[in-house]
């Protein structure tokens, strides 16, 4: 009976940290601004990478 009590006590102590949740919140406005900046940079790179259109003279 003493072993069962020790077992449950040990399991309880080990299970307690598993119930801890860490939440990290980011300001929505800052996240949206960062996303817009990344999108603008990607579009700029894409525009720079495209070759200039050429007209064929046939």
Domain hosting 11: range is 2-49
Calpha distance 31→52 (Å, rounded): 34
Residues of the chain with pLDDT under 70: 49-53, 55-58
Calpha distance 28→35 (Å, rounded): 10
Number of domains into which the chain is organized: 1
7-28 burial code (b ≥16 CB/10 A, e <16): eeeeeeeeeeeeeeeeeeeeee
Which pTM was predicted? Answer: 0.39
pLDDT value at position 22? 76
9: in domain: yes
58: in domain: no
């Amino acid at each position: 009976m003493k072993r069962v009590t020790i077992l449950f006590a040990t399991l309880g102590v080990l299970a307690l940290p598993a119930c801890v949740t860490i939440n990290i919140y980011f300001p929505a406005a800052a996240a949206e601004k960062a996303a817009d900046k990344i999108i603008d940079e990607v579009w700029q790179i894409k525009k720079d990478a495209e070759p200039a259109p050429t007209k064929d003279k046939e």
